[in-house]
A = this chain, B = another copy of it.
Amino acid sequence: MSDINELVGRYIDTWNEKDPAARRAAVEKLWTEDGTYTDPLADVAGHDGVDAVIAAVQNQFPDFVFRPGQLADAHHDLARFTWELGPKEGEAVIVGFDVVVLAADGRIRNVHGFLDKVPAM
């Protein structure tokens, strides 16, 4: 993998992109046509599915932003990294942990997502 930080940066940027056309273009650039995204709350495949999940999360947390977390490493066609979601200033409300499988063209084939921190109920 050429650069894990570059991948994480583009991933975070895509989750923060709220313009529908720009977000869709970013999803197409980042995921393969049959690419998947699975986390405890979502399980989708394809650009439509991934884009819809990102839009739904953005609508659920309109004042929050995504940022890279503390962990990022990679080997072979695999990467793992954490990300944070929260207000622009202050502590993260949600911390996610994603393992990503890349296709030969460098795009994402699978996101296996887990949650390290969720809001208290």
* B-binding residues in A (CB < 8 A): 38-40, 43, 73, 75-78, 80, 97, 99, 101, 110, 112, 114
Contact among B40, B73, B80 for A75, CB-based, below 8 A: B40
* Residues of B with C-beta under 8 A to A99: 80, 99, 112, 114
Contact among B76, B78, B114 for A80, CB-based, below 8 A: B114
Which B residue's beta carbon lies closest to that of A110?
Answer: B101
A39 to B80 alpha-carbon distance, docked (Å): 12
A-B complex: 6 closest residue pairs judged by Cβ atoms: A40-B75, A99-B99, A78-B112, A99-B112, A43-B76, A38-B76
Tell whether, in the assembled complex, residue B112 and residue A38 are in contact, meaning their CB atoms are under 8 Å apart. Answer: no
